[in-house]
Amino acid sequence: MKITELLLTGIILLPVSGIILMLLWRKASKTQAAIVAIISEGFALVIPIILLAELRTGQPVSFSVPWIPMLGISFSLELNWLSLVFLLTEVLVTLAAMVYSLGEKRGEKASNFYYSLLLLFSLGMSGTTLAEDVFLFYVFWELMLIASVLLILIWGSGKNRSRVALKYFIITHIGSLMVLVCLITLQVQTGTASLTALAQRAGSLPPGMQQFLILFFLIGFCVKMAIFPLHIWLPDAHTVAPMPVTIVLAAAMLAMGAYGILRFPIALFPVQSMQPFVIWMMVAGVISEIYGALMALAEKHVKRIIAYSSVSQMGYILFGLGSLTAQGIMGGVMHVVYHAIVKTLLFMVVGIVLHAAREKYIQDLGGMAKLLPVTTICAAIGVLGISAMPPLGIFTSEWMIFTGGFRSGYPVFLTVISLIGSLFTVFYALRFFGKIFLGELKPSDSTGNPNKALLVPTIAVTVFLLVEGLAPAPLLTWVMRGLSTVFGGAY
Amino acid sequence: MSGSFSVVLPIVILVGGAFGMTSITMFLRLKNKAAAVLTILILLSALVALIYVVDRAPDPDPSASAFYGVLSPDGILFKVDYLGIYLISVAILVGIFVSVYSGESLSRDHRFVLYYPLILLTISGLLGLFFSTDLFNIFLWVELTTVSSSALIAFRYHHEAAVKAGFKYLIMSSLGGMIMMLGVYFTYRSTGSLALSVISDHTDLFTRIGAGCFLVGFWIKAGVFPLHTWVPDVYSQAPSAISGLLAGVMSKSMLFLAPAVCLRLGMSSSELGLFYILFACMNMLFGSIRLLKQDNIRRFLAYSSIAHTGYLMFALGIGFLYELEAAITASLFLFVSGAVMKSLAFLAAGIYEYYLHSSDVEDLKGVYRRMSLPAVTGSIALAGLAGIPILAGFNGKWLVFSAVLEISEPMALLGLALFLLSSVISLGGYLPMLAIQFQPSNGDRSDNAGTPVRDRISIWMALPTAGLVALVVLLGVIPSPWLRLIDWFMDWVSFL
């Protein structure tokens, strides 16, 4: 076993060790559990960075051992430039959420269980991005769902959390089952479970079957992305979940749907098989973008405003991917990263505001800038970020997405509508900031001085957002390499 | 008498063990735990004898040498049935777990003297069913399982509902037995013989009617919709461990036994497959819809069992209708995974009942704080039944889907769609049931210092549940050894 293979398995096995340790350490305090979780998750951040040198040689880092030989299933992992982008995004978001959890009241009881589930949630996402075998992909795909459902069920707020968790589980599980049917069909019809081999063979399947698979994959992954009208699980789940879980759900898990679309329908099937779906993906993207923005504009619950913003932002990503142009896809992937950063920041800000004001409706809030000056600066940068103000990152990704739209060869008005629709994003972002931070202080018994555990990660994410926006070159290079290795120049 | 006595040795051990241990227990005044250990030893001996039978069969065609009895058309003859050996081995395994568990759960009942022998007789009845080569003996063994199972179901005779459930099972099973007897009549009228080997060469309309009668008879014992009416009452009223044994192994075995008889009586593979698929769909939907609104955990598990009977029937139906070996492999895997998951779920429910004196779902709220072991093990069983990776149920689901998608026939795909629908519906039951155990409860028992009081679970109950959890996880994470075993058995299964 080569050292690189060992390191690659470490991304999975070290967090697993952390989970086991925490489950055994029943008397661990919240801080102790958090330290174990952060260290375990830290490995998933450090190892891919170490493996960057190997990736630069032009070859992906892979590891494979037979798992269920009779079914042709193996435990195969692969780190390439594309999975690297999604992996690092997800790990960074989870790390930020873990630190942020220290300042949250939730998770005080049975914190070992809480942090092990948070780690399992992240492990599911890491495994999804690294899986090179369809069986393994689905196992990790479901792990992330199970962990998140349990987190909502046990630590969610409100009496209706069981109903919300059930709704979230059943709706996303229906999407997962559609993906499962596609994965098994691919395996039995091509005789391989390896994604690399599937990329060679899936194109030779009968055209009708290819269309069926693409359709099912797209619906299945769009459920996870919460694209309108498959988004109905999202607002409730984001509202009920504890804030750190909401952060991971919105900033990282939704992106897994985009990753699925990239790895399966787009990467496996020829361009001509995808063509009939292009217009529908773009239309669904635009509708989701505008619907999400309008709902965010009308919503009064602060958490739900940001939740609906996710529906809108996922619309941009689907629009970019659906354009099937190099710029559009690249913009979509970059939007995943920038959205993750901005969404993490905005939810962290909301968390601090809710702690300070103990009010959750926007009409009951105001003048928070007087109490929370640092948070206000972070919020302002976050709001500018989501509004796609240059030089912040989302400006770059949206630029590329719209360029992809114009170059897609489909009616220009679709991209124009999308561009106009982005104005609604600015409206809800400004309403969010203005109503909460400006004007008279409401409610009067609000308290300042947020917990450092809440403020420090918020500031760190803000700085990261600025750095990413000002220096997008490394990310752009990674994404370009990722797309060329996975798609081999098809787009 | 000719042939090898080793063929009937497992049956002799089980039946002889049943009578022997009754005498020993009464004569030596053994305690419940000692009787449980004795039962485990008898079951282990039967398992070793079964392995010995498999090991001794040198010829790939078991009909050539692996038999014992009178070699004449009217003689009583037992033949090695490899499908039976596979299923009975699982039954014995579950029986061992059930016996260990009963070492504690029966400690409040002095009638354990009868309890363990009845378990042995029930399992031996199943073995006799598979090894019999003529219809009359099959009928007799069916009756043996009916009588012993009915007695076990009504074991808590001081509960009126338990007696009613036992009586209901007895009536339903006897009805099945009568229908089988009718099948015997039709077959004998037409062929003049009861030996399956003779009948299979002279099938006609009457033998086919006989096949239909046997199919209905076996389906009553399997709890197939709409002949399932005994299932919720029986599984909720029998001792929990017995419910696990019946739901996990005994009733499901009938689904494999029916083809072994019906195909020899002239029913075609495609007809059988079609019947199985049609009724499988009804079972899946009925079971999953009805489990949603249950307020008793054991009735919930009973309806879940009806849905799982549907999944198993669907896999078998696909196997017969399209003569697809992969689907039969899937059904054999579903059988073992269902056996361990269902018995685990019933054992966990039994622990609740034992300590809480209730099986109402509402009383399970926050029970994790009081009893973490059944909460965790029961949740693993429920997650496995829901088909969550990386547990045994998921691999079964994967195998069934693979088989169906391999053939991509419209009927199979429609059945698969209903399978998916059923599994999504049943999630609406599994998830709340799983969650309620971990939710905060206002009624936590606390000591003077305010610390919640935790019940100490007996090691006799903890061990079998832990063992079954290990199996559920192992069949999920490392299914290859078991799949290889199934593959080996598949070469020997005669009806294929």
pLDDT in tens, B160-206: 888 899 999 999 999 999 999 999 999 998 888 888 888 888 888 99
The whole model's pTM is what?
0.89
Percent of chain A with pLDDT over 70: 97
Distance of alpha carbon B81 from alpha carbon B93, whole angstroms: 18
Q: Residue B244 has what pLDDT?
A: 93
Of the candidates B224, B221, B226, B316, the one whose C-alpha atom is nearest the C-alpha of residue B270 is B316
pLDDT value, residue A484: 79
Residues in chain A: 491
Q: Do A185 and B389 touch (CB under 8 A)?
A: no
On average, the pLDDT of chain B sits at: 88
Structural domain contains residue A436? yes
Q: Is the torsion defined by CA of B486, B488, B492, B495 positive or negative?
A: positive
Q: Which residues of A touch B405 (CB under 8 A)?
A: 181, 184-185, 188-189
Q: Are A198 and A192 in contact (CB under 8 A)?
A: yes
Residues of A in contact with B480 (CB under 8 A): 67-70
Is position A300 within any domain? yes
Residue type, B122: T
What is the pLDDT, as a whole number, of residue B320? 93
Looking at the 3D structure of chain A, how many domains does it have? 1
Can you say whether the dihedral through the CA atoms of A42, A44, A47, A48 is positive or negative? negative
How is chain B split into domains, by residue range? Answer: 1-267, 270-496
Per-residue pLDDT of B266-311, as tens digits, reads 899 999 999 999 999 999 999 999 998 888 999 999 999 999 999 9
Residue A446: predicted pLDDT: 67
Angle between helices B205-222 and B251-262 (to 10 degrees): 170
Torsion A4-A7-A11-A17 (CA) sign: positive
Asked whether residue A443 is assigned to any structural domain, the reply reads yes
What is the domain extent for residue A338?
274-491
pLDDT confidence of residue B496? 53
Cα dihedral: B481, B485, B491, B493 (round 10): -150
Q: What is the mean pLDDT of residues B306-333?
A: 94
Distance from CA of B204 to the nearest CA of A (A): 39
Show pLDDT as tens, one digit a residue, over chain A (491 residues).
788 889 999 999 999 999 999 888 877 888 888 999 999 999 999 999 999 888 888 888 999 999 988 888 999 999 988 899 999 999 999 999 999 888 877 666 778 888 999 999 999 999 999 999 999 999 999 999 999 998 898 888 887 888 888 889 999 999 999 999 999 999 999 989 999 899 889 889 999 999 999 999 999 999 999 998 999 999 999 999 999 999 999 999 999 999 999 999 998 998 888 888 989 999 999 999 999 999 999 999 988 998 999 999 999 999 999 988 888 999 999 999 999 999 999 999 999 988 888 888 888 888 888 888 899 999 999 999 999 888 888 888 999 999 999 988 888 888 999 999 889 999 999 999 998 888 887 777 767 677 788 888 899 999 998 988 888 878 888 888 888 776 765 55
Query: Nearest residue of A to residue B419 by CA position?
Result: A177
Q: In this predicted model, what pLDDT tens digit does every residue of B421-473 receive, in sequence order? A: 999 899 888 888 888 887 766 555 555 555 556 778 889 999 999 999 999 99
Location of structure tokens 């017995």: B242
DSSP A327-381: HHHHHHHHHHHHHHHHHHHHHHHHHHHHHHH---BGGG-B-HHHH-HHHHHHHHH
pLDDT-derived band of residue B57, with 50, 70 and 90 as boundaries?
low
Complex ipTM tops 0.85? no
Asked if B36 contacts B95 with a C-beta cutoff of 8 angstroms, the reply is no
Torsion over CA: B190, B191, B192, B193 (sign): negative
Task: State how far residue B97 is from chain A, nearest Cα, in angstroms.
Answer: 26
Residue located via tokens 């429609």: B414
Q: Phi and psi for A366 in degrees, rounded to 5?
A: 170, 160
Task: Tell me whether B8 touches chain A (CB under 8 Å).
Answer: no
pLDDT at B63 over 80: no
Residue A65: the pLDDT is: 92
- Residue B339's nearest CA partner among B459, B243, B216 is B243
Q: Is-contact B301 B345, C-beta < 8 A?
A: yes
pLDDT tens by residue, B385-404: 998 888 999 999 999 999 99
For chain B, positions 372-431, list CB contacts with chain A under 8 A: 383, 388-390, 395, 398-399, 401-402, 405-406, 416, 420, 423-424, 427-428, 431
Report the percentage of chain B scoring pLDDT > 70.
92
